[in-house]
Amino acid sequence: MSAARIAVVTGAAHGIGQAAALRLAEDGFDLALVDMDAVGLDVTRAGVHGKGRKAWVWAVDCTDGTALAGAFDEIARHGPVHVLFNNVGQSARERASEFWRSEPEVWRFVLEVSLMTTMRASRLVVPGMRERRAGRIVNMSSDAAFVGDAGLADYAAAKMGVIGFTRALARELAPFQVSVNAVAPGAIRTRAHHRLPPETIDRIRAAVPMGYVAEPADVAHAVSFLASDGARYVTGQTLLVDGGRWMT
């Protein structure tokens, strides 16, 4: 029997991260789950166990470089990382505003949690993947990077930064057979989505050509593909999962 493959998912306690972890478990991966929410991590871990796979949890803040590095050191004791899904990130949420009213403190927070965490976690796995000449990195972007939603200038900048990082890292690692891709979701039914007022939900839905808000599992399917052997010749790409809101 071949050795188990390990996938790391950041932001794994809820929403897209949780759905991706469960899907990767179905694909045969053991899961290393990272998030600040210990309770949510336990729920995800139980779900992974229910799929017959192992799961380990680390309740750490991904913006804390020292804590994150410590978590990845412990993950390495279970075996090499085959897949990294850099899912953690968020917009300014209740602090979001039009740019002319925004504050640099908020920009720095959004860039840190939505871009720097992706770079930081990737830096921790790339040397091993490069040495083994194998690995998959999937980064979380957003269709906000393409559409440029009003009130989300900092988030759009961070998520377009993820795309630029994805492309540059993909080019560096391609000679070592390591792929780096991104997913860019649109309107997805997550906890943040549930906090929006009904009129906002209606406006979001009206902007989606397919006419509905998707589920976290819809993004998880895309992550599963990019992490699979079937995507071995796909690198440096961004797969939009947004019902056609942005078409290229």
SS3 of residue 235 by DSSP:
coil
Write out the H or E segment, with its range, that includes residue 205.
Answer: helix 198-206
Give the whole-angstrom CA distance, residue 62 versus residue 10.
8
Give the whole-angstrom CA distance, residue 64 versus residue 120.
10
Single out the catalytic residue among 29, 56, 155, 165: 155
Active site residue 155: yes
Residues shown for the chain: 248
CA 79 from chain centre, in angstroms, equals 21
Token code pair at residue 35:
């998030």
Write out the H or E segment, with its range, that includes residue 178.
Answer: strand 178-185
Name which of 189, 196, 191, 197 is nearest 213 in CA terms. Answer: 189
Please give the full DSSP string across 109-138, using - where no structure is assigned. HHHIIIIIHHHHHHHHHHHHHHHHT-EEEE
* Count of Cβ atoms closer than 10 Å to residue 122 Cβ: 19
Residues forming the active site: 155
